[in-house]
Structure 1
């Protein structure tokens, strides 16, 4: 099995939801199940996560191809964290299949590398990858969270889904990922950028991205990096985004 999909709801327009580096599939978007009263949600579990087959390394471009496949004849697209990078690459590749694009704190460090906070976090990530022991998963994830300047205590041992995801995280280079900003900016579908207001670096990236797309950056505090977990406020924002498409 390459990637997996959990479907919620059976009516209305389709929404494809793409998770990030450490929260898998439905665990990343549990609060969005409430949208199944109006929409058909396709909750993706990317290659190498959950019960899918192991991968040698995360490849966001290959993941983007999988997302394009999930879009079918056209769907709304939501990506959180690294899933936002995947979603933007899919949307840049096939804009004709995207009804709207919503990204939540994508780690697009290169877009805002001139900002001190963004540069600081990017350099901290590079330094961590340079010295961390990839066989010590708890220590690796702890260092990753610290480099992001995120206050998030981790259970020891890591829960099995997080430990499995951490094996993939080790293969990433988050400070290097790229997005097709020109193709996304030129596309006619509605776009939405959301941030949680917890991080100077991610706020900077999100506001820079919104500026490049000529949009307002929406702030929804209360759930840190996983902004979608605020639930109703995010869901209402997404409903308005879809209605505008």
Structure 2
């Protein structure tokens, strides 16, 4: 097994949580540890992140296979940012193992490229990858954050976990990633889409995704792109979502 898992709680309902591009496992979901009073949580660290073996490049489909293995006989599934893309790919392949699906601001740019803000950010990411030096990690991540129109000053040098994750980031192509929207929409499990209200582009993607899935798009402000870090409001929403499932 080349990914890692940290387990919290021992409830009968299990939740698998999948992190995004610049966060690692438990650090991405620290505020969700409060859910361990009711649920068993399996917090995944994807291949190439944290203390897992290095990888040549991020592979969303391989990560999705890892998520499927982690679902076991069935679990609720939560993915944030690129982890949402991974989660949707896993759910599209094995909907029978998914009790419910929650995605937080997935970078599914292709679903909403007709929205001006989405197209603007997608084009900015494409341009950044063409021009930036992948060996200059601080400059690369700074340009990435700027392309996302995110106000997030970065320390120099980058903290070690961010620098390690940035090595993987340079291998991604976030404006190209795809999701099996038809398979996810047709699946019988409940779906939840959450956005943070900080970005026209991510709000546009999230609203389009919610429309395609036939669900409401929930907005929780206060934590930017890492919406789950608002803590109690997100946890309450997730508890209600799982209860309804």
CA distance in 2, matches of 1:135, 1:88: 31
CA distance in 1, matches of 2:68, 2:59: 14
Superposition RMSD on alpha carbons, in Å? 0.5
Q: For residue 43 of structure 2, give the secondary structure of its aligned residue in structure 1.
A: strand
Match of 1:116 in 2: 116
Match of 1:102 in 2: 102
Residues 64-98 of structure 1: CA distance to partner in whole angstroms, max 9, x if unpaired? 00000000000000000000000000000000000
Please state if 1:167 is matched with 2:176. Answer: no
Match of 1:182 in 2: 182
Alignment TM-score, normalising by the size of structure 2: 0.99
Aligned pairs, number? 245
Alignment TM-score, normalising by the size of structure 1: 0.99
Q: For residue 214 of structure 2, give the secondary structure of its aligned residue in structure 1.
A: coil
Q: For residue 67 of structure 2, give the secondary structure of its aligned residue in structure 1.
A: helix
Match of 2:211 in 1: 211
CA distance in 2, matches of 1:146, 1:158: 16
Match of 1:196 in 2: 196
Q: Which runs of 4+ in 1 moved over 4 A?
A: none
Q: For residue 88 of structure 1, give the secondary structure of its aligned residue in structure 2.
A: helix
Please state if 1:134 is matched with 2:134. Answer: yes
Match of 1:43 in 2: 43
Offset at 1:211? 0.2
Offset at 1:12? 2.4
Please state if 1:75 is matched with 2:50. Answer: no
Match of 2:30 in 1: 30
